[in-house]
Amino acid sequence: MSHETVLLEQKEPGIWLLTINRERAMNALAPQVLEDLGAAVRSVVAEPTARCLLVTGAGRAFVAGADIAVMSAMSVLEARDFAAKGHRTLRALELAPFPVIALVNGYALGGGCELALACDFIVASEQAVFGQPEVNLGICPGFGGTQRLTRVVGRSLALDLVTTGRQVKADEALRIGLVNHVVAPEALLDKGLALARMIAGKGPVAVRFSKHLVIRGQDLDLANANVLETDVFGLLCATDDKREGMAAFLEKRPAKFTGK
């Protein structure tokens, strides 16, 4: 499937690859890109067999930022609408009922870093570079960067990055917990597919609700988050996948999950 600025393809059963495809603009997030990205995510969510989504960028950038040429001409209301559109799009990605893995092949700056942070985890090329350089333009991050970055790396490091605008290479990103894996550029897609296959082989309902617990639980206090987990644990014990998974374990054979 091809949108105007986004390519979407099924790589393997249950595994989809979404590519931001504005290579000449280093995949900058113009309003149309956000529209196409949202439409692509909705189309994968509508696939009942979808188990994992990989997100990357064409060429030498993941996403080099939001489109500054477009933003420079925006009024106050237009800028707020643009930020709101970015938040809606990235929240839809965050709430997808399957894990989403960012494959960061190059620059992930500004809106690109925010896009990667909205994914469930990040695999980075050794050539990847991250940053929230909006202060260099006299603005702040507008697509959730101040909030998701703080939740991932902590308050002090988030303030360091968003107030200095400095860039972080892949090795430092791994050290501070911003990314999960760093691989050679030529191994990026293979690593992403390997992780996606691992996820796709697990109980689909269990994976879906485990993600739900992590995403929803972080907005609750610990006691209420644990109540939510308790309820979901009980719910999952009524599924066919639970019965199959435990039977397979006891019988020492691979499980054959049906997602029911």
Which residue out of 12, 114, 186, 244 is catalytically annotated?
114
Q: How far apart (Å, rounded) are the C-alpha atoms in residues 177 and 152?
A: 7
DSSP string, 77-111: HHHHHHHHHHHHHHHHHHT-SS-EEEEE-SEEETH
Q: What is the DSSP letter of 136?
A: G
Q: How far apart (Å, rounded) are the C-alpha atoms in residues 105 and 128?
A: 6
Does the active-site annotation cover 134?
A: yes
For residue 23, CA distances in Å to 6, 15, 19, 189, 258 come to 11, 23, 10, 18, 39
Q: How far apart (Å, rounded) are the C-alpha atoms in residues 111 and 80?
A: 15
Q: How far apart (Å, rounded) are the C-alpha atoms in residues 214 and 229?
A: 9
- CB neighbour list of residue 217: distance below 8 Å, 6 or more residues apart: 225, 228, 229
Count the Cβ atoms, other than its own, within 10 Å of residue 152. 17
Which residue out of 4, 9, 94, 134 is catalytically annotated?
134
Pairing of strands 167-169, 61-63: unpaired
Does the active-site annotation cover 114?
A: yes
Output the CA torsion sign for 230, 227, 179, 86: positive
Q: How far apart (Å, rounded) are the C-alpha atoms in residues 57 and 124?
A: 12
Q: Which residues are catalytic?
A: 114, 134
